[in-house]
């Protein structure tokens, strides 16, 4: 079964995803995280960052895959983060912005490399949502995020993404966001698209994770809060998995 079939297949069962920024983990921490990820039934691991300053993406992917067997999906902040050792890549088009390189330009450069790799390609409409302060993703992409009270803009953007043939929508408040994506916005988007919805950015508690899933997230992503406190993994995973 492909990763996409797994994500889109049984939508009643939400997926819990850890975002690993390789810059923030050494081998010891990655091993500890991997053990907890297995114990907590983490479904997917996203790997990447808006800005990476060290060159150990490949060894991090290999280690996590070896220790967990959990699918590793690239969440690339740039073209430099393409790596054939992962299982899949979020082929992100930043549809909330008007930066042509991030809508289609980088994809043209990446396409021949991706074609030669064994990576599963997951075409994803990526939407940055305003979160109370400027995030690295916002700054690096040079785009204006969708205002957090404009549910209609978010819904229309996601609808257009689905109509263009994208297979996933990722609503992201940005890593370390002060405020996560509001539940009402998740609900509006959910009601207007039929493809799976990924939500992340600024989620710090099991309650926030549960609320996002209840509002319509199929895949819930947490990075920063886990980096700070590994003991949260279990509670976050069970909040996501128990959402009905
Ligand atoms: C960021 O959605 C991810 O792109 C996760 O965000 O690190 O704030 O959990 P956090």
pLDDT band at 164 (very low <50, low <70, confident <90, very high): very high
Kindly state if the Cβ of 221 falls inside 6 Å of ligand 1.
Answer: yes
For 58-105, how does the pLDDT look when each residue is reduced to its tens digit (9 = 90+)? 999 999 999 999 999 999 999 999 999 999 999 999 999 999 999 999
Residue 12's contacts (CB-CB under 8 Å, 6 or more residues apart) are: 244
pLDDT of residue 11: 86
Kindly state if the Cβ of 177 falls inside 6 Å of ligand 1.
Answer: yes
pLDDT of residue 51: 79
Q: Which atom of ligand 1 is nearest to the CA of 176?
A: 8
Residue 53 tokens, joined: 């300053």
Report how far residue 113's alpha carbon sits from residue 136's, in angstroms, rounded to the nearest whole number: 26
Q: What is the best residue among 223, 225, 226 to mutate for testing ligand 1's pocket, by most ligand atoms within 8 Å of CB?
A: 223
Q: What is the best residue among 224, 229, 232, 240 to mutate for testing ligand 1's pocket, by most ligand atoms within 8 Å of CB?
A: 224
- Cβ atoms of residues 216 and 18 within 8 Å: no
pLDDT band at 42 (very low <50, low <70, confident <90, very high): very high
The average confidence (pLDDT) of the chain is 96
pLDDT band at 20 (very low <50, low <70, confident <90, very high): very high
How many domains, the chain?
Answer: 1
Residue 111: give the domain boundaries.
3-241
Report how far residue 194's alpha carbon sits from residue 186's, in angstroms, rounded to the nearest whole number: 13
Residue 116's region, left for phi above 0, alpha for psi from -120 to 50, else beta, is: alpha
Which secondary-structure segment (H or E) carries 152? Answer: helix 151-163
pLDDT of residue 55: 82
pLDDT of residue 12: 87
Ranges of beta strands (E only) in 22-156 are 44-47, 72-74, 88-94, 120-128
The residue-averaged pLDDT of 204-214 equals 98
The residue-averaged pLDDT of 224-232 equals 97
Closest CA to 44 of 178, 165, 168: 168
For the cut 80, the answer to whether the pLDDT of residue 35 exceeds it is yes
CATH number for the domain harbouring residue 158: 3.20.20.390
Looking at the chain, the whole-number percentage of residues with pLDDT higher than 70 is 100
Report how far residue 177's alpha carbon sits from residue 10's, in angstroms, rounded to the nearest whole number: 29
pTM for this entry: 0.98
Maximum Cα–Cα distance across the chain? 45
Which secondary-structure segment (H or E) carries 41? Answer: none
Sole residue written with tokens 């990722």: 170
pLDDT of residue 52: 79
Sole residue written with tokens 């991706």: 114
The residue-averaged pLDDT of 213-238 equals 98
């Amino acid at each position: 079964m492909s990763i996409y079939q797994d994500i889109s297949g049984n939508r009643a069962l939400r997926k819990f995803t850890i975002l690993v920024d390789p810059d923030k983990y050494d081998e010891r921490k990655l091993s500890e995280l991997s053990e907890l990820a297995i114990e907590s039934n983490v479904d997917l691991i996203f790997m990447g960052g808006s800005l990476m300053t060290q060159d150990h993406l490949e060894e991090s992917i290999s280690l996590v895959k070896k220790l967990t067997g959990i699918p590793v999906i690239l969440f690339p902040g740039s073209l430099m983060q393409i790596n054939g050792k992962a299982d899949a890549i979020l082929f992100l088009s930043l549809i909330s912005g008007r930066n042509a390189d991030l809508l289609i330009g980088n994809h043209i450069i990446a396409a021949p490399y991706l074609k030669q790799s064994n990576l599963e390609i997951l075409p994803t409409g990526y939407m940055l949502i305003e979160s109370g302060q400027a995030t690295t993703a916002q700054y690096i992409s040079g785009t204006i995020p969708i205002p957090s009270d404009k549910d209609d803009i978010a819904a229309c953007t996601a609808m257009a993404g689905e109509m263009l043939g994208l297979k996933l929508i990722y609503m992201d408040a940005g890593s370390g966001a002060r405020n996560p994506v509001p539940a009402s916005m998740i609900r509006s988007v959910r009601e207007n698209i039929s493809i799976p919805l990924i939500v992340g950015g600024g989620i710090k508690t099991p309650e926030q994770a549960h609320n996002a899933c209840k509002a319509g997230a199929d895949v819930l992503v947490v990075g920063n809060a886990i980096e700070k406190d590994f003991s949260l993994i279990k509670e976050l995973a069970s909040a996501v998995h128990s959402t009905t």
